[in-house]
């Protein structure tokens, strides 16, 4: 009886979507550089390569959209934080300019 290797788990969560897309793009380049007789021996048709390429492009587009959405929310958070701080700063300057005597009350 032969020994069958069992795969217990993987650490695929360590890799980002960009690395995953890059891996598949690298594999596609390797397949595209192979000669047609080698592809025939591996039973890889041109239609299969074309569909693989379309799927990689689709995954790459989804990755770009996901990254753009993440960056958008990060920018919104940072701009909201900046707006709050700058609003507080300019409000204090406005009040000090109108009521200069308040600065002495505030510092006392």
The 10 Å Cβ neighbour count of residue 105 is: 8
Per-run averaged pLDDT (10 residues), the chain, 108 residues: 66 74 89 85 88 91 83 76 72 68 60
Residue 3 lies in a domain: no
Residue 90 lies in a domain: yes
Residue 70 Rama label (left phi>0; alpha psi -120 to 50; beta): alpha
The answer for residues whose C-beta is within 8 angstroms of residue 84's C-beta and 6 or more apart is: none
Residue 80 lies in a domain: yes
CA pair distance 72, 85, nearest whole angstrom: 20
What global pTM score does this model have?
A: 0.54
pLDDT of residue 1: 53
Q: List the domain range (segments joined by +) for residue 24.
A: 12-107
Tell me how many domains the chain contains: 1
Between helices 17-33 and 46-98, what is the axis angle to 10°? 150
Residue 67 lies in a domain: yes
């Amino acid at each position: 009886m032969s020994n069958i290797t069992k795969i217990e788990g993987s650490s695929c969560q360590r890799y980002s979507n960009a690395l995953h897309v890059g891996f598949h793009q690298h594999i596609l380049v390797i397949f595209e550089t192979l000669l047609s007789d080698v592809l025939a021996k591996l039973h890889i048709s041109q239609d299969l390569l074309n569909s693989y390429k379309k799927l990689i492009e689709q995954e790459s587009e989804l990755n770009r959209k996901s990254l753009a959405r993440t960056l958008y929310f990060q920018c919104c958070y940072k701009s909201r934080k900046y707006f709050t701080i700058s609003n507080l700063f300019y409000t204090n300057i406005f009040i000090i300019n109108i009521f200069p005597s308040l600065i002495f009350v505030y510092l006392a």
